[in-house]
Structure 1
Amino acid sequence: MLRCVTFLAPVFFPTYQAIVAYLARRVGQPIELEVGTSFDAFAAGAADLGFVCGLDYVRLTACQPESVELLAAPVAVAMRYCARPVYFSDVVVRQDSRFTRFADLRGATWVYNEQVSYSGYVAVARALSLQGETCAYFGRCLASGSHERSLQMVLDGMADATALDSHVLDLLLVARPELSQQIRIIASIGPATSPPVIAASRLDRGLKEALREALLSMHTEREHARILQESCLHCFAPVTDSSYDEIRSVYVQQEQ
């Protein structure tokens, strides 16, 4: 049995379950999906496949260069993505908020999911640094633990603004249509390359190629194309290590 772990937003867990079931059928092996707890699992042999943030991939390959390989990354359906495997960090406020642009947020209460999140924290910190600012730009910063919790804190008035993974926001707007009347996007940071699907390097080369081909052709099968569409995704696309160079440069600067 292959073991697959996800380190991404819980709202996508049903999507990953469907993808894993499809991959299991295509490669003829059962695959178990669970929520990941440690990236050491790939090198230790406790995880074979993973859905991870681009920043997680960069960190993992920096610490354990030979541990994982890229399989593919998702392409979302919305026109803003231009049929590319990219996403944005969308800065969101309540519909009735007085804030209309990122520059208005000086002194505001900001909520982020976690400091290891590229879209929720690192991309924002990077945008501030390019303006000669730090997170002290905000009056107060709160950690929520997840994108969904950050959004709820904004809706409840506990925070003024947050930054959400745009793929997550796309899916939340489908699942909860009323959100479109409750929030506004006042800025978008990016794009950055989409969170990839990775495989442990120790897996058989033929198996890795079969998994990659299955992902890249998933949208060509009607039933599985429907699953992707329901998750606001169009298909999976090839990515290479250099696809994550921009995120890598931000990571390197962050570590200095």
Structure 2
Amino acid sequence: MNGELNGNHVIQSMDYNTNDNNNRQTVRLRAATYLSPSIPIEYFEIILDYLKTRLGYIDTSLRYESNTRNIIQVFADNEIDIAWISGTSHIQLAQKGKAALLPVSSVHIHPDAADSAGYYCDVIIHESLGSRVKCFAELRGCKWVYNASQSLTGHYITMKELRHLGENSSFFGHKQESASDLQSIHMILNRQSDATIVDSNCLQIFLARNP
């Protein structure tokens, strides 16, 4: 299963100030991420450090937000200039006319998708199910955990696959919301749930840190 979304960066505005040290204009870039802890905060710090190194005339700050319910207000109040957000949050912002999608983004390659860049997610199951579950349709009746009901990965792509199978959410024996992809992974490992679907970048980073 995979769904494509071309980028998840949005930008609103920038403030320009004079740098007294070199008498040149400095861009103050106020950034925020709504994707942590599933994607480590260090990832976004690296991107901002790269921009600062390459451009040389920006000051950056990074704000960590876990509450997506306030995202429209944050942009409306001009509190941030650029943010990493979910596809669902971007749609909400776009509908309100509060932000625009950047024409550039980092590129992530899925290990099973050759050189096809896009937005990917992976279904993972507890090892105890490995002998009998070989495809999504065989997850009927399982304990399913997902990150959030408004998530592109956790909800909308899953529902799309269920409709493709002629099923609905009653396909699963039990459903539980975890609040993050990272927590969903831990719930599978701790046998609190049987299966989940998570952002591929989150999964690859987790596997790299926990070989």
Please indicate the TM-score interval, normalised by the length of the shorter structure.
Answer: 0.7 to 0.9
What is the CA-CA distance between 1:66 and the residue it aligns to? 5.2
Residue 41 (structure 2) aligned to one of 8, 13, 29: 13
Q: Distance in 2 between matches of 1:138 and 1:7?
A: 28
Whose helix proportion is higher, 1 or 2?
1
Q: When the two structures are superposed, what TM-score results if normalisation uses the length of structure 1?
A: 0.63
SS at match of 1:91: strand
Structure of greater Rg? 2
Q: Does 1:123 align with 2:157?
A: yes
- What is the aligned partner in structure 2 of residue 2 from structure 1? 29
Deviation at 1:176, TM superposition (A): 0.8
Task: Could you tell me which runs of 5 or more consecutive residues in structure 1 were left unpaired when the two chains were aligned.
Answer: 178-256
Tell whether the 8 Å contact from 1:128 to 1:135 is kept in structure 2 after alignment. yes
> Which deviations, in whole Å up to 9, do the C-alpha atoms of 1:178-203 show, x marking residues without a partner?
xxxxxxxxxxxxxxxxxxxxxxxxxx
| Aligned counterparts of 1:78 and 1:162: Cα–Cα separation in 2 | 18
What amino acid is the match of 2:89?
D
Indicate the larger mover: 125-134 or 103-112.
125-134
Question: 142, 153, 159: which is aligned to 2:176?
Answer: 142
Is the contact made by 2:29 and 2:61 (CA closer than 8 Å) also made in structure 1? yes
Matched pairs, number? 176
Alignment of 1:81-100 (within 5 A): 81-97=113-129, 98-100=132-134
TM-score (norm 2): 0.76
Shift of 1:68: 2.3
Aligned counterparts of 2:102 and 2:121: Cα–Cα separation in 1:
22
Residue 76 (structure 2) aligns with? 43
1:155 is aligned, of 158, 182, 189, to 189
Secondary structure of 1:158's aligned partner: coil
Give SS of 2:112's match. helix
Q: Equivalent residue of 2:50, what SS?
A: helix
Q: Structure 1 vs Structure 2: percent identity of aligned residues?
A: 28
CA RMSD of aligned residues (A): 1.8
Letter in 2 for 1:23: L
Distance 1:153 1:79, change over 3 A: closer
Q: Are residues 72 and 12 of structure 1, via their aligned partners in 2, closer, same or farther at CA, if it must alter by over 3 Å? A: farther
Question: Is contact 1:89–1:163 with CA below 8 Å preserved after alignment?
Answer: yes
> Cα offset for 1:9?
3.5
The CA deviation at 1:154 is 1.0
